[in-house]
Amino acid sequence: MATLVRPVASTPMRDRLLGIGTRVLVSSWLIVLFLVGWELWARWSPSLFIPTMGTILTAFTDVWLSTDPTRLFLSEQFWTDASASLTRAGLGWAIAVLVGISAGVVLGVWKPAAWFFDPIVRFGISTPSTILLPVAILIFGITDAMNIFLIAFGAVWVILINTIDGVRSLHRTTVLTARSLRLGRTRYLVKILLPGASPQIFTGLRVSIGIALILMVVAELFAASEGIGFYIVFAQRTFRYADMWAAILLVGLIGVTANTLFARVERRVLRWHREAFGGGGS
């Protein structure tokens, strides 16, 4: 007698787990391929500068991790160098956010100011920030202020440009409606202007995170007494190539973590925009 096989009932949790698993497999295949390719290349290459991935991961564990839960399983080296780098990057990025959004709102609303400062904005966005490293060293010396200045200068322009574009892209009907309701400047800024421009502002913020991390490392490569960039140069000069690659891996993991956390914040803050416009702005 034949038996009937009943299909497994689909549940929202089961569908969600399957969807997450599928996304992980799809997004991680290139990473797996890269790691396998690196391992094969390192094993077949006679160069001492290219250690195997296993050697790099061992060095990463030894240098940056620990078994002490009171230190969040992070080593003293991490709290010395990585924390210094992240503090500089965080302060520089915060200054860039404050200046970029504030100036962007003013230039986006006040057209005479935008016309007057347009050459400066164009010059700033077109100038590689790293070219100012010698000037920053002359002004600030080899100090944290120099690193913070370089990070802030490099990250501010993309935030500024996106804020200006976001403010100017507000629909004219929205602006006229706000005027007809006689909203005060503060309420107009908080209720209309910043929410309307927020999708493009967040785009600028996301891009600026990568710029800040790049400039963090570049500044420390040439002018720092501590930090991840300084550690990379020190490891390279002392022929500790596995430690050098482990520090580079740490920078990559920091970048991925920062972008992942920011993406979650962005999705939550811009949830209203996705619901109103069918998934845009994230």
* Residue-number span of the structural domain to which 235 is assigned: 77-277
Residue 61 falls within a domain, yes or no?
A: no
Query: Residue 174 is part of a domain; what is its CATH number?
Result: 1.10.3720.10
How many C-beta atoms lie closer than 10 Å to residue 270's C-beta? 20
Residue 22 falls within a domain, yes or no?
A: no
Residue 46 falls within a domain, yes or no?
A: no
Per-residue pLDDT at 278: 56
Of 227, 239, 206, 247, the C-alpha closest to 57 is 247
Stretches in the chain below the pLDDT threshold 50: 1, 279-282
> pLDDT tens-digit profile of 119-130?
999 988 888 888
Per-residue pLDDT at 282: 41
Residue 105 falls within a domain, yes or no?
A: yes
Residue 18 falls within a domain, yes or no?
A: no
Question: How many structural domains is the chain composed of?
Answer: 1
Residue 88 falls within a domain, yes or no?
A: yes
Per-residue pLDDT at 213: 95
Q: How far is CA 121 from CA 85, 112, 173, 203, in A?
A: 28, 14, 29, 18
Per-residue pLDDT at 20: 60
Per-residue pLDDT at 281: 43
Give the separation between CA 198 and CA 79, rounded to whole angstroms: 34
Residue carrying structure tokens 């160069």: 47
Contacts of residue 155, Cβ cutoff 8 Å, sequence gap at least 6 = 92, 93, 96, 100, 208, 209, 211, 212, 215
The residues facing 182 across adjacent strands are: none
Residue 87 falls within a domain, yes or no?
A: yes
Tokens for 274, please give them: 């996705």
Residue 152 falls within a domain, yes or no?
A: yes
